[in-house]
Structure 1
Amino acid sequence: MELQSKINAMQNGGKLTVMSGQQIKSLIEAGTLWLKTNQQIVNALNVFPVPDGDTGSNMLLTMQAGWNEIASSQEENAGVILRSVAQGALMGARGNSGVILSQFWRGFSRAMDEQPVMDLTLFSKALTEAKNTAYKGVVRPVEGTILTVLKDTANYVESELIACSDFKDLFEKTVQAANQSVDRTPELLPVLKQAGVVDSGGKGLFFIFEGFLRWLNNEPLDINPNIVEIKPISLMSQEEEAESIEPGQDFEVVVDFVPKNELNLAPFYDRLSDIGTSIQVGEGDGMYRMHIHVPTENIYAPINYIMGLGTVTKVAIENLIAQMEDIRKKKQSEFTLTPVEEGQISVVAVSPGDGISRILASLGVGSIIKGGQTMNPSTEEILNAVNELPTDKVIILPNNKNIILAANNAITQTDKTVAVIRSKNVPQGISALLRLDPDGDFEKIVEDMNSALLDVQSGEITIATRTVEINGVQVNEGQIIVIHNGDLVLSRNTVEEALIAFLEEAKVEDYERITIFYGNNIEEAEVKRMVELVQEKYPDHEIEYHYGGQPHYFFIIAIE
């Protein structure tokens, strides 16, 4: 990424009023880099106080997919470059925010089709077309989201175009409009105002635009001195699970230390950024914890650096490559998928945990994609799963509301007969899967599966990552919270209290069966003890529990 040389060659002391394909390539690179630098800020703007906010990760992965399409390209035609970006973003889109961002680039590139260069007017027209395409891509657009930020920005840029003499002026107005629109999102979407946050997708789009401006201003893109922060040590590991392992991230190094003097965070981060990536710093009980991913040659560099700042009390080193390999092998060996014959109906299902994958496989799923709240699969992953099945009749179970858009996007890219069942959680997905008849009538099976979504209530129990009040429910950071059919409904101090309160909230006495899928953050013995308590309270109910293996969520519960 030779951004500096590209910037110097581009500016040459004059005003930039026209961009070639290679300059747009640098623009995409800058927007991607700046979004990556601010990824955790966007992730933290999760409305619900759950440890799985992943909008920043989804948008970044989508942008990186677009960038990968042009990373080695020497193409000078602006329209050709942008068409490649749009295609990459489409196939790499993850989550609702990623799908909308891919539609942004689709519209933007459409306006630039066959254009050899991009001038100020074309940029404005491309923003407007991006806005129109993104809105059309959402069935029921909601204001106060990334869509609003895109609309406000495109409209403002169009109105101010005559006052802009070059791209610096234009990008300054673009950033200004996006920032003002983001700040206004809580006034348009009450749930944001209740949570005390702005829209995360809109904020991600703002950072992409701001990356464009920083590129022109020759400002750093890999570190933001304004976001250096310390988080509680107890929360550091929770966010890490959402991270993907990138090339050069061979080892994870965690160092606990007590500094000799007051820790100056800005230069501390600067030095660590020279050593590795995925830097986090936590504080608690009078000590600090530093987390970093490093290549093999830098494995001891962060330790040696911190030893010069104070007393090192504990060091932990994990081989990330070996961990990823173990996960891959484990996934391949833990379940057997149902064989599919040509002409049969098969199912592609998204699963958040290894245990849930085994259950889905036992119920007849032909292909399983690992993913969920913290790891939304891309459009391309879903499309590949559909195309790899040896049949032309496929049903997709997203099992997460944030994956439905990507699934709908995927089916537009295949010639097979494919239907998406709008399962918003695992209980709904399993309920729908029970209606599968591989040799049945496709339309009838799809209809039956959709109707099955109404047969089950769902519950999710996790831990709050922020103090907030939503829908009248007061939540303190660290409390146990319950999501009922997608809505935050209560908070308690223990998992046991939350489980019992949820069953009362859901009026479980009106149902017959309770199924609990427990996550990888709670021991089976503890689960068994709680299940026995539930059985004592509801002796006439059929109660069973299974290992789900999902991260973050102690329990995913189905009530039927």
Structure 2
Amino acid sequence: MGGAPPSTGPPAATLPTTSEESCLTGADVITWLRRCRDVVQLSAAAVDRINVFPSADFDTGQNAARTLIEAHAAAARVHAMVAGQGEPGHAGETLSAAARGALLGAQGNVGVLLSQFLRGMSDAVASRTGIDATMLARGLTRAEADAQSALADPQKGSLLSIAQAAGDAAEFTAMSGHRSVAQVAAAAAEAGLACLPRTVTQQPMLARAGLVDAGALLLVLMLECLVSVAEGADQPQADAVLANWGAGIDPRSCLNTDGRRCGLRGGQTELICTLGAQQVGGLAEQLRDLGEHVVVAGTAPLWSVHVHTCEVEAVLEVVGRFGSVEQVSTIGSAPAQEPPTQMCVVLAYSSGTGLTELYQAQGFRTFTDTNPHAIRDVLATALGATYADGVLVVLPGSAEVAGTVAQLTEEQPDDRVRMLPATGHPQVVAAASVTIPGGPQEVIATLTEVIQATSWAGIRLDADLLQLPDLLAAEAAQLHEEHRRPVDLCTVVLGRNVPAVIGRMLGDVVGAALGGVEVFVVDGGLTDWLVTIGVQ
């Protein structure tokens, strides 16, 4: 199980000694939002793995990243429009646009809270073109208050704990006299970082898992980004924070006795919607009777509502009494969010029913759609079944799929993913023919050895079907010669254009060409080759 890191943590931020007056401009706000977006995107997978509070749905990192993408995009549009008119960047307007973008694009509980945090900063800055030390302190204090007011049941051990510590430290520093923006930002980040380990003991779920709160970690990272902008640094010092506190988790520690994730009741759905209303007094209290994790964020006339509920229609009816309900989205339900169950998951691409049946009989998960969006979803589902200290082994089966998986894992890194060099279906078939050992590293070693011991070739789609037996026999003989080792098994994977009568002939023809070696013929439904052949 991923335990709490040593209490020493990364080095604490130190207050700059300068007392020079300075202001954050609209351009600085854009830079801060961009760095927050980039850091959170890169950290999303690690943050997701420690997401057990308020519900262990392992999506806080992704939800925050998507929300910050919208916040930055909205702010950048406003800033670009002002700059195009030859006017200086306006910090207040830029923050206001970011808050609205986050509100409209909020994903999950954390997204709604981040939108409210940005709203608080925006309201404090108001019409100011620049943010000085006093205004920054006021903004961080207001951000915490507004985020807390959005929750029907605010609790310690969350993003709110970091926001309160940061706001208090920023206000104290600004009041101490002639402090710079950089000093206020550094004080806030230092206080947030010092508060982070305390979240472990402030909630039972966090204490049992030995983890800091995922939302709290995200806000600490955002404060580090703020320090980097205020100090004029090229990059935020976020790596040390993530290395110390973004530890993995064994999700088995987050299960109730009946196997459900902590914080989620059976049949629940996460509902988010926007609400056009002048006032929402009493809405949160009414929603608490219908669900949990209730958040109502925003300001008149636009609000965002978030709730986990088993009564979606009843929630929408209550919300509708307050105004116009728009942009309703429902995300999953508890039965669809099964906890991880395996230390090692093997995922293989299959182009036909014969391969699918073969791979699944070996216990592999399979997928057939090569669209990048579909593969992204398949990877996410497979990772959801893999323990945080486990491994997801990917057998691509084609160069195209291998390239797509490589690109997706580069865009969204996860240390658990291991793609093996199986670029042809005969290599995957060979991998499916061996006994899989228990441990993740043993699985990787065994499958890699089998794949590397399998040579393969393909017959192009434009080849003459009548010449196929002779062409395949020639390929088999050449592979045998190049293999330079006795052949134990030969695999022939058929394309969808090969008639059954020809397919039945190929096993005997290839077996004879290899001197009586056993040949396994499988209907692969290939679309990129007429036939592929492999020797092991």
Give the TM bin, normalised by the shorter chain.
0.3 to 0.5
Instruction: Name which one, 1 or 2, has greater alpha-carbon Rg.
Output: 2
TM-score by length of 2: 0.44
